[in-house]
Structures are given as C-alpha cells and as structure tokens.
Amino acid sequence: MDKFSPHYFTVRVYYEDTDAGGIVYYANYLRFFERARSEYVRDLGVSQQTLLDENIAFVVKKINMENHAPAKFEQEITIQTIISELKRASMVFKQSIYFEDRLLVSAEVQVACVNLLKMKPCAIPSLLYKECLRVN
C-alpha cells in the first residue's frame, strides 16, 4: 500500500487525442499523466510558474508505461496519481488512467528536480517537499 494519498484528475478524450479509429494514440497518455502531475502540484498550493521564475523545474528521468485497454473518443477518463517515493531531489509517481472502474493505462514516472541555469539536480523546494509529506 502506498503511503501517500491519491490525487484524481478527470479529462475528456477529444478527437485530437485519438487515431483514425477513435482510440487514444499511445503517446497522448503521457500528456494526460503530465497534466495530472501538474494539477497535483497546483492542488498542493505550489505554482510551477513560481518554480520556473526561480529556475527550478522537474524533468522526467524514467517512465514505465503499460497499456491494459484503450481509451476512446468522448470518454471521460480519470487519472489517479500517487507519490510512491519522495527523495530530496526526486520523486516517483504511480499513475493510473481509468474509465469508470476499468484500468486502461498504468505508469511509474520518476521525475528529478533540476536547476535550469546549471542543468543539474537540486533539492525539491522545501514548500513542495513539506506539502508532499503532508498528504501522506
């Protein structure tokens, strides 16, 4: 069992997200996961624009994604995001996409905090780190 509370983000599948058959194109799941992580951070009260103004960003270091079933045009899908590992300069998220109660896609995403001026890893800002700990 994960020690952190899950975050949920819902989005509708638009035509632009799909292939010619009305099925979500696999690379677009990465966009849905990214949006869900961004909304998670926003809901924790941390502005990514403020982080960027301080030359801090998060970059995806590693992702492992598994497709279980397709999402389809006009479905309203829910992305569940859980922090499974929190370190001083990186986090691992477990993310799942559901349509109703059916698991469609799962992923484990490792992100690293970087100083954009130096392009080197740096500590996660203390406000965000503390907020991540709070939601456990």
The residue count for the chain:
136
Is 17 designated active site? Answer: no
∠ CA 18-20-22 to the nearest 5 degrees? 50
Active-site option among 2, 19, 43, 53: 19
Question: SS3 for 48?
Answer: helix
Task: Give the other-Cβ count within 10 Å of 111's Cβ.
Answer: 20
Which residues are tagged catalytic?
19
